[in-house]
Structure 1
Amino acid sequence: MKLQYQLNIAFTTLLLVIMSVTGFVIYSLILDLLIQDEKAELEQKGELLVQILNEESRQPRIDQFGGFLQDQNLELLLYNRILDQVIDSTMPKQIVGSFLADNDFSNMDKELWSLGDIKYVNSRILFYPESTGLELILLTPLTELQAVQQDFIKQLFIVFVIGAVAAVILSYLFTNKLVTPLTRLKWQLKKVEKRQFDAIEPIKATGEIKEVEKSVFEMANELQRYMKSQQTFFQNASHELKTPLMTIQGYAEGIRDGIFGSEEKEKGLEVMVTEVNRLKKIINEMILLAKLDSEQTSYDPETIYLTSIVDQVLDRALPIINEKEIRISHEVDETLTIHADPEKLLRALLNITFNGIRHAKSYVLINVRQINSMITISIEDDGEGIDEDLIPQIFHRFIKGSQGETGLGLAIARAIVEQSGGNITVGTSELGGAKFIVAFSEN
C-alpha cells in the first residue's frame, strides 16, 4: 500500500476515534447539564408557588395552579414529611401511590425519580415555618430533556461529519504535498541505480525530506566520483603495468633471438631485473592499498610518541637525503602522543617525506605541533609545488607528478591516516613547494 494511503487511513482512523470519544463524552454531559438546568428552573417555579400558597391562611390547595402546571407540562405533589404522606397532588391517587412505592421520598439527594419506565426530574421546596413539615415537589418528565439531547446530538453529528470530510480533504492535500517529493526522490534514485548521473535533477522539498534529498545528491556525486576514479585507476594501472612488461618482453625476445651482443645482453638483463623490481613494487603497493581500503589488514593501535616516529622517518630517509644532498630539519613537541598503529603510521609519513625529498630543491621541513585540540604533522619542501589542477586528485591512485614513482604512495598514506582517525590535506608551502598536513584529534 502506498505511503499516502497509509497516512490518510491512519489520520482518518485517529480522527474517527477522537470524534467518537468526544461525542460519547458530550452525549453523557449534555443530559447532566440539561437536568441541572431543569432542576434550577423547577426550583424557581416551586419557590414562587410556595410563596403564593404561604400567603393563604387556609390549608394550601394546589388545584388552583392546574392550568399553569398543565401549560408547563409539570406535575405537583404536596408532601408532608412528618406524616410521610402526599396530601395533595395534580396526579391521580393511584399514580401517587406508585410514586410512593417506587421512590424513597426521604432521600433528598436523588435527582431522578422513576415511575415504571418513565424518569422524572424533581425539585423540592419547603414551606415556612419548617415545623409544618410541608414540602412542595415539582416533577417534569425526562423525555423532553432526552428529546433536546437527541436533537443536539443530531446537529453535533452533522457538524462532525462536515468537519471529518473537511479534515480528510486537508489530510489528502497535506499528505500529497508530503509524499510527492518522496516519489520524485524515488525516481532520482532510479537514475542513480541506472548510473544516469547527468540526468539527476533537484526536487522541491522542505525539512527532513530536503536533508534526505541533499544526502542523496551527495551520495550520487560521491558514487560518480568513485566510479570515475575506478575507471581512471584501471586505465592508469594497465598503463603502469603494461610499460615495464613491454620493456621486459622486448629485451627477452631480443636475447632469445640472439639479436643483442654480449654487452647489450648484459644491459638488457639489468633492465629486465630493474623493471621486474618495479613491477613487484607496484603490485605490492596495489595489494597493500586494496587491503587498507577493504580493512582486511590487521590494525594494532597503541600510544605513540611522535618524536619517536619522526626520528624513525629521519633514520630511513638518511640515504636518499645524502644522495640528493638535501637538508632536512624538524621541530617536534616531545610530549605529543597519538593512538595509532606505529608501523602503518611510519609507512604513511615515509611516503609523504620521500615525496617531499624527491621534489625538493634543497630543503625539507617536518613540523609537529598541537593547535587547539588537533595534533598536526606538516611536511613541506622548497620545490616547485603541486600543479593546481593536480591537487584535487593528488591522493588518488596512479596520480603522480613529474618525478613520481608508482603514483600509489600518497594514496597509501591517505588510507592509513584515515584508518587511524585522522585526515590529510595538501597546499602550498611558504618555502615555495608543497605542504602536506596530517591532523589527528587529541587523545
Structure 2
Amino acid sequence: MVIKLKIKMKIGSKIFVTYMLLLVITFLVAFGSFRFLSYKYLIAETREQLLKGGKLISELYKTAPLVDTGIRSQIYNKRRIEVANRIIDAHIIIMNRDKKIIYSTVKIDNYNEILDLSNKLNNHREYVSVRTPIYEKNHNIKGYVVLFAKVREIKRLNNLMFITQLFSFIIAAVIALIIGYLLKNSLTRPLKLLTEKTKYFSLKKFDSDLEINTGDEIEELATSFNQMARRLKYYDERQKRFLQNISHELKTPLMAIQGNAEAIKDGIVQGIEVDNSLEIIIAESQRLKKLVDEIIYLTKIENVNDTFNFNERNLNEIILTAVRSVKNLADQKAITIEIKSNLDIIGNYDKEKLIRAFINILGNGIRYAKSLILIESSIVDDKIEIKIIDDGNGFKDGEEKKIFERFYKGENGGTGIGLAISKAIIEAHKGSIEAYNNTPNGAIFKITLPIYPNKSNNPKV
C-alpha cells in the first residue's frame, strides 16, 4: 500500500521553503567539510612542525655523542632540548642507536615503553608523534629523536574556528531569511496581479493594462498578457459588432420574406400581386443565401489555412479572368475597364480565391464609377503593385478606413462582406490592400502582392 502525501502550498511558499532548504543544506555541507578539512590541516601542519623540530634537534646532536655519562651529560642534553623547545612545543625523547634513552621530557625508561606510549596516544588521538633519525658525519644513524605534540590544542583551535563559523552562519541565515522573504514577495506580487487580471478577463473586462516592471521574464509575460488583453478586447468588440450587423442584415430579408408570405396566405395580395410577392420572396431568399454563403466563406478563409491551394499561376491571367467575369455588369452601366499595363508575373497563388478577391474589388468599383475603371500594374521593391482606379466620387471623410470591416456598407453598398473577403484572401497571400481617394476625384484600391509568396517555387517575370 502506497501512501501519497500531498501538501498544498502557494508558489511563494514553495519558493521560500525551497530556498531555505537549499541554504540549510549548503551550510551544513560547508560546516562539515570545513570542520573536517580544517582539523586535517591543523594535524598536518603540526606534524610538519614536529618534523622540522626533529630535524633541528638532529642537527644539534650531529656532532655530540649520544651517551649517558651522568649529571654532566644530562645538563648538556637539557640545554640542547631547551634550545629546541623555544621553537617547538612538544615532548622530546632522545635515543641512541641501541634505542637506549639518553634524555626525555616525560618519565619513561626504555624503548618498549615508548612504543606502548606511542600506540596508546595514537589510538586515543591525543597526540601527534614523529620520529627523526640522528646522523653522524658519515651519514650513519647514531640515534633517534621522538616528538609528541598534544592534539587538545589543535581541537581547541578547531572548535574556536567552528564557533566563529557558527555565528557567521546565524548572521548569514538571518540576512538570507530577509532576502528570501523579499525575493518571494517580488516574485509572487506580479503573479498575484496576473491572477487578479485573469479574473477580470472572465468578466470580459479588458480595459486596464497590467503594469509590471521587473525587467525579467515576468515583465515579458505581463507584456504578452497586455497584448493578449488588447486582442481579446478587439475580438470581443468585433464579435459584438458582428452579431449586431448580422442580426440586422438577416432581419431585413427575413422580414420581407415573412411579410410577403403572410400576405399571400391571408389573401391580402391577389392576381399579379401574388407573382410580385413571390419574386420578392425569391430575391430576398437569394440575397439571404448569398449573405450566409459569404459569411461562411469569410469565416473559413480567416480560420482554416489549408483551404488555400497555392500553385504556380500567371497573375495577369487571374486579373483578366476577373475582368471578364464582371464585364457584363460593367457594360450594363456603360463603364469601361481598361488594363493600362500588362506584366507577365508568374508566382504561387490560389487562382480561384484571388479571382474572387479581384471580382469583389472590381464590382465595388463598378457600383461607384461614372464611366471608367483603370487597372495599373508595376513592380516596386520586389513586389507587384496593382492599382484599381475608378472615376467616381471617392470616399467620404474616414470612410476608406472602414470599408474592409465586415458589414460596413457605403451608399448603394451590397452585403458589406465582399471587401472583407478580398482583404482576407490578399493577406493570406502575404500581401496587403489599402484604399484612398484619387486626385481630383475617384477612389484607388492598391493591392500589393509578393512576387514570391510561397518559397517552394521561384517567381518568373
- For the criterion TM > 0.5, the same-fold answer is yes
* Aligned equivalent of 1:9, options 6, 17, 31: 17
Say if 1:254 and 1:260, in contact at 8 Å, map to a contact too: yes
**Which of 318, 322, 326 does residue 327 from structure 2 map onto?**
318
Residue 35 in 1 paired to residue 59 in 2? Answer: no
| Bigger shift: residues 286-295 or 218-227 | 286-295
**1:350 match:** 359
Partner of 1:109: none
Give the direction of change, closer, same or farther, for the CA distance of 1:356–1:157 in structure 2 (3 Å limit): farther
Residue 91 in structure 1 maps to residue 100 in structure 2: no
Which has the larger displacement, 329-338 or 311-320? 329-338
Aligned with residue 305 of structure 1, among 310, 314, 323: 314
SS at match of 2:413: coil
Between 131-140 and 61-70, the greater mean CA deviation after superposition: 61-70
In the alignment, structure 1 segments of 5+ residues that lack a partner are 105-112
Secondary structure of 2:140's aligned partner: helix
- Number of the residue aligned with 2:174: 165
- Deviation at residue 156 of structure 1 after TM alignment: 0.8
Mapped to 1, the partners of 2:33 and 2:421 lie a distance apart of 72
Q: 1:53 to 1:354 in 2, by over 3 A?
A: same
Question: Deviation at 1:91?
Answer: 3.4
CA deviation after TM superposition for structure 1 residue 187, in Å: 0.8
The alignment partner of 1:114 has SS state of helix
Give the counterpart of 1:75 among 64, 72, 91. 91
Would you say the 8 A contact 1:381–1:429 is kept in 2? no
Paired residue total: 432
1:256-287 Cα deviation digits (max 9, x unpaired): 55555755554444333322221221122122
Instruction: Measure the CA separation in 1 of the matches of 2:38 and 2:184.
Output: 36
Q: Could you list the structure 1 runs, at least 4 aligned residues long, displaced by more than 6 angstroms after superposition.
A: 65-72, 101-104
Gap runs ≥5 in structure 2: 1-8, 68-72, 456-461
Q: State the Cα distance separating 1:54 from its structure 2 match.
A: 4.8
Stretch of structure 1 that moved more, 267-276 or 208-217: 267-276
Change (3 A) 1:284 1:63: same
C-alpha deviation, 1:408, in angstroms: 1.0
The Cα of 1:145 is off from its aligned counterpart by 1.0
Change (3 A) 1:137 1:103: closer
SS at match of 1:197: coil
- Which residue of structure 2 lines up, in the alignment, with residue 154 of structure 1? 163
Helix, strand or coil at the partner of 2:242: helix
> Which of 114-123 and 408-417 deviates more?
114-123
Counterparts of 1:9-408 in structure 2, within 5 Å, are 9-54=17-62, 56=64, 59=67, 62-64=77-79, 74-80=90-96, 83=98, 88-93=103-108, 96-97=111-112, 99-100=114-115, 114-122=122-130, 124=132, 126-127=134-135, 129=137, 130-198=139-207, 200-206=208-214, 207-256=216-265, 259=268, 262=271, 264-295=273-304, 298-324=307-333, 325-329=335-339, 331=341, 333-338=343-348, 340-367=349-376, 371-372=380-381, 377-387=386-396, 389-408=398-417
User: Is contact 1:331–1:367 with CA below 8 Å preserved after alignment?
Assistant: yes
Structure 1 residue 343, shift from structure 2 partner: 2.1
User: Deviations for 1:369-425, whole angstroms, at most 9, x for unmatched residues?
Assistant: 55546555554444444445444543332112213200111222233344x352533
Deviation at 1:173, TM superposition (A): 0.5
CA contact (8 A) 2:373 2:389 kept: yes
The SS at the match of 1:133 is strand
TM-score, normalised to structure 2, is 0.80
Percent same amino acid at aligned positions? Answer: 28
Residue 119 of structure 1 deviates from its aligned partner by: 4.1
Question: Aligned equivalents of 1:384 and 1:115: distance in 2?
Answer: 112
